[in-house]
Amino acid sequence: MKTVLPFIAVVILMLLPLFGVTVAHQTQVFFGVIVPYAAVAVFVLGFIYRVVQWGKSPVPFCIPTTCGQQKSLPWIKQDKLENPVTTMQVVGRMFLEVLFFRSLFRNMKTEMKEGKAVYGSEKLLWLAGLAFHWSFLFIFVRHYRFFVQDVPAVIKMMEGADSFFQIGAPLFYMTDAVILGAVTFLLVRRVYLPQIRYISLAADFFPLFLILGIAITGILMRYFFKVHIVGVKQLAMGLVSLNPIIPQGIGAIFYVHLFLISILLMYFPFSKLMHMGGVFLSPTRNMANDSRIVRYINPWNYPVHVHTYEEYEDEFREKMKKAGLPVEKE
Amino acid sequence: MYNSGKIIAGLAVFFILATLPFLLNLGKANAKIEPSIDTPEINAMPVKHCVEPKAFMRSEHMQLLNTWRDEVVRNGNRIYVGSDGNEYGISLQNGCMKCHSNKKEFCDKCHNYMAVVPYCWSCHIAPKENKS
């Protein structure tokens, strides 16, 4: 059920704009203008809200997870990336974490072989994750050609690199194949491996199906069921210049693509996809391991009322003397 | 909020990146893009038509040209039978560009708008036009 329900949900989300736009043309305004605006608003405000909520939670302890030599005596070599003590070292560590998933690179697998637990390295998840995230980023940035009048040279260069092999017309983008392969791998992994299937939830499958739907509609739109592409850019430019227009004859599949992206944007702040912001706020990653250099004060600490021995003696000095107890001050 | 300086700076970067398309187009008008078919050759036609209907040409011309190139270069076939049953000679420079002699106002209009760079003209000779 946790696999089938998200799949059915995505199919319904695809059929809604498909039927809406083909049966009643008036719904083009809903799917082409109202939903995208709502989606961007929910995404931006929801994202900020989530990060502020995280910022409000105190981090009681200095808890970076490290796996290298801590800064110690001068002749012992410190592992600066795995055990950072300065802000710059933390930045270096975060940089590799965010861009190259360094901690996932250490991913291990455990198997029972001849009654013994055997540990081995498992790089496929790291590779597929990296391929997926990078191709998604590439595709996302490439789409800026729809949002600026004079497309910057950087975007054109990215497009040129992506369609380097000049296969077919319109030119085939490598990232289209990479993202399809990577998402399929991530999906099959959750279904095929019993342990992973056991811990997977509907909230794990839904974004995968959704992103797969977005990629497939995009690919279909580019190579197979062509849309009126100039109209698409006019719609996009209308949205971002706050003068929305609905050009006629764009093609229903574009509205499916746009609706799925709007759903993704709206779903984003309330889901595991918030790891995009969350990776920067992970205390185990973004803290320096300097607890022996800098005093770390728990923000939860509240002023505790203490009664020192001196105060105690001041209070009971006379009684202590009478009972013959030794006092420090006479 | 803890570490508010860093978090607010990060959120500001996020906000700018997330709304960049809106920020870049503040107060800009949406350009109307319509390729021009105002050429002497087309104006002289009694019934204006291309090898295929307009809607097909608009979305499929790149695929058609790609097929044509393969047909000519690999099979030597220079005849295309359109869906209207008429035969057309396959040639970019002497066919397509004979009618659409206004590359700047026809091809480039949409291609520049969409940031598409077709590689037709890395082999073919682009028609000479008066710079206007």
Distance from CA of A168 to the nearest CA of B (A): 7
Q: Report chain B residues whose CB lies below 8 A from the CB of A39.
A: none
Q: What is the mean pLDDT of residues B47-73?
A: 90
Report residue B50 as tokens: 């291309």
A59: how many CB neighbours lie within 10 A of its CB?
Answer: 18
DSSP H or E segment with residue A265: helix A252-267
Q: Report chain A residues whose CB lies below 8 A from the CB of B66.
A: 168-169
Looking at residue B130, its pLDDT comes to: 56
Assigned domain for A271 exists:
yes
Q: What does the alpha-carbon distance between residue A159 and residue A174 come to, in Å, rounded to a whole number?
A: 10
DSSP H or E segment with residue B81: strand B79-81
Assigned domain for A284 exists:
yes
Backbone dihedral angles phi then psi of residue A221, each to the nearest 5 degrees: -70, -35
Q: Output the CA–CA distances (angstroms, integers) from residue A257 to A63, A174, A221, in the order listed.
A: 42, 19, 9
Q: What is the mean pLDDT of residues A46-53?
A: 96
Assigned domain for A313 exists:
no
Q: Which residue of A has its CA nearest to B68?
A: A169
Assigned domain for A311 exists:
no
Q: Which of A30-39, A320-329, B34-43 has the highest mean pLDDT?
A: A30-39
Assigned domain for A238 exists:
yes
State whether B10 and A155 contact (CB < 8 Å).
Answer: no
Domains: count for chain A: 1
Q: Which residues contact A39 (CB under 8 A, 6 or more apart)?
A: A261, A262, A263, A265, A266
Note whether A234 contacts B: Cβ–Cβ < 8 A: yes
Report residue B14 as tokens: 């996020």
Cβ burial of A183 (10 Å; 0-12, 13-18, 19+) is buried
Report residue B101 as tokens: 């002699």
Assigned domain for A323 exists:
no
Q: What is the mean pLDDT of residues A96-116?
A: 90
Print the domain residue range for A149: 4-305
A86: how many CB neighbours lie within 10 A of its CB?
Answer: 13
Q: What is the mean pLDDT of residues A270-288?
A: 94
| A168: alpha, beta or left? (left if phi > 0; alpha if psi -120 to 50) | left
Note whether A41 contacts B: Cβ–Cβ < 8 A: no
The reported pTM is 0.89
Note whether B128 contacts A: Cβ–Cβ < 8 A: no
Confidence band for A323, pLDDT divided at 50, 70 and 90? very high
Confidence band for A287, pLDDT divided at 50, 70 and 90? very high
CB B111 within 8 A of CB B34: no
CB A105 within 8 A of CB A124: no
Q: What is the mean pLDDT of residues A4-10?
A: 94
CATH of the domain at A25: 1.20.950.20
CB nearest A240 (choices: B22, B66, B110): B22
Assigned domain for A324 exists:
no
- pLDDT of A200 > 90? The answer is yes
Q: What is the mean pLDDT of residues A149-166?
A: 91
Which residues does residue B89 pair with via DSSP β-bridges, in sequence order? B79
Residue-wise pLDDT for A203-226, tens only, equals 999 999 999 999 999 999 999 988
Q: Which residues contact A58 (CB under 8 A, 6 or more apart)?
A: A298, A299, A300, B2
Looking at residue A27, its pLDDT comes to: 87
Q: What is the mean pLDDT of residues B69-78?
A: 92
Coil, helix or strand for A112? strand
Q: Which residue of A has its CA nearest to B112?
A: A150
Coil, helix or strand for A164? coil
Assigned domain for A282 exists:
yes
Looking at residue A181, its pLDDT comes to: 96
Distance from CA of A23 to the nearest CA of B (A): 21
Q: What is the mean pLDDT of residues A195-206?
A: 93
Note whether A279 contacts B: Cβ–Cβ < 8 A: no
Distance from CA of A58 to the nearest CA of B (A): 7
Amino acid sitting at position A76 = I
CA A24 to chain CA mean position, Å: 37
CA A271 to chain CA mean position, Å: 10
- pLDDT of B131 > 70? The answer is no
Confidence band for B117, pLDDT divided at 50, 70 and 90? confident
Exposure on the CB side of residue A182, measured as CA atoms within 13 A = 20
Confidence band for A23, pLDDT divided at 50, 70 and 90? confident
- Based on its alpha-carbon atoms, the radius of gyration of chain A, rounded to whole angstroms, reads 29
* Nearest partner of A274 among A286, A262, A284, A266, judged by Cα: A266
Q: What is the mean pLDDT of residues B115-127?
A: 86
- pLDDT of A149 > 90? The answer is no
- How many residues in total does chain B contain? 132
Looking at residue B132, its pLDDT comes to: 44
More confident residue, A217 or B132: A217
For β-strands B87-89 and B79-81, DSSP reports them as antiparallel
Coil, helix or strand for A116? strand
List the 137-196 stretch of A: residues with Cβ below 8 A of B: 144-145, 147-149, 151, 155-156, 159-160, 166, 168-170
